[in-house]
Amino acid sequence: MDILKLDGISKHFLGLKAVENVSFSIKQGEIFSVIGPNGAGKTTLFNIISGHYSPTKGRKYFEGKDITNLRDFEVAERGITRTFQNIRLFSNLTVLENVLIGLHIKLKSSILDCLLRNSKNKKEEDECYDEALELLDTIGLKDKAFEQAKNLSYGEQRKLEIIRALASKPKLLLLDEPTAGMNNFEAKEIVQYIKELNSTGLTILLIEHNMRVVMGVSNNIVVLNYGEKIAHGTASEIQNNELVIEAYLGRSKKND
C-alpha cells in the first residue's frame, strides 16, 4: 500500500522553478531516498511534503487522503514528522526537555487539566517522562538526559533531533541529511539505527549526500536535477543510470 503519493508537484518562487512536475509513491514500510546534486530541489520537496510550503501545482496524498493544503502542524498530526539539514534543537533546554516537546503533539489533557494539575494530567506527564527516557535509551543518550542540548557533541545533537521527531510517533519519518557532518563511526551508528527503526514498520523518507548510506539502506531512490525527476529505481538501477551519472559527474558514462 502507498503511504505517500506525490502527483505532479511543482514549486515556483517568482521565476525560479525549484521543483517541477515531480511524481512518485512511497510504499508502507520502505526506506525511500531522494538524492541529487546541490540545488536540485530536495529540501524544497521535503518542505512541501511536511507542509512548510504549499505546492504551486500538483497534489499530495497521505494514506490515500489529500493533504495538499494542510499546514505543517496539521501534517504532523496526521503522522508525518521531520528533521532538518541544519540542527534545530532548543539548545538551552535539557536533552530530555527537547524530547518532551516532541511528545506534546500526542497529549490529550485539556488546558483545564493542565491548569488544575489533576490526576489525569499528572499521569500523562509521568508517562511522557518515562517514554522520553526510553527513547533516549534507544540511541544511547539516556545518561545525558539532564544535560543542556548545546553541550552535546555534533553527532549527539543529530541523534537527539531524530529522537525528538520520533517522539510524536510518526507513520512517515523524513530525515534531511541525518549523517551530515558525522565521522564514519557516527554515520554507521545512524545507519544501523535507521535500519532498526524501519524493522519496526516505520516508513522513512531520506535526503542524504552520503551515497554509501543511500545505497546501503534504500529500497527505492528518486533522483532530482534542477528540480525535475530524472530517475527512479533501486540502488543498482540508479548506480547504472546514465542520466544520474551525468548529473553528478557532468559527463556521460560512455565518455569514461
DSSP string, 77-139: HHTEEE--SS----TTSBHHHHHHHHHGGG----HHHHHHT-HHHHHHHHHHHHHHHHHHHHT
- At residue 38 the predicted structure's pLDDT band, cuts being 50, 70 and 90, is confident
CA nearest 5: which of 20, 19, 17, 22?
Answer: 22
- Residue 106's pLDDT is 60
Span 89-141, pLDDT tens digits: 888 899 998 898 888 766 555 444 443 455 666 666 777 888 889 999 988 89
Lowest mean pLDDT among 35-39, 103-107, 177-181, 227-231: 103-107
Of the candidate CATH numbers 3.90.1150.10, 3.30.70.270, 1.10.1740.10, 3.40.50.300, the domain formed by 1-79+171-256 belongs to 3.40.50.300
Grid cell listed for 1: 500500500
Nearest residue to 139 (alpha-carbon basis) of 91, 196, 183, 82: 196
Cβ pair 99, 152 in contact under 8 A = no
Residue intervals in the chain for CATH 3.40.50.300: 1-79+171-256
Q: What is the pLDDT of residues 182-233, one digit of tens each?
A: 888 888 888 999 999 999 999 999 999 888 899 999 999 999 999 999 999 9
Confidence class of residue 249 from pLDDT cuts 50, 70 and 90? low
Residue type at position 32: F
Q: Model pTM?
A: 0.86
Give the orientation angle of helix 119-138 with respect to helix 154-166, to 10 degrees.
130
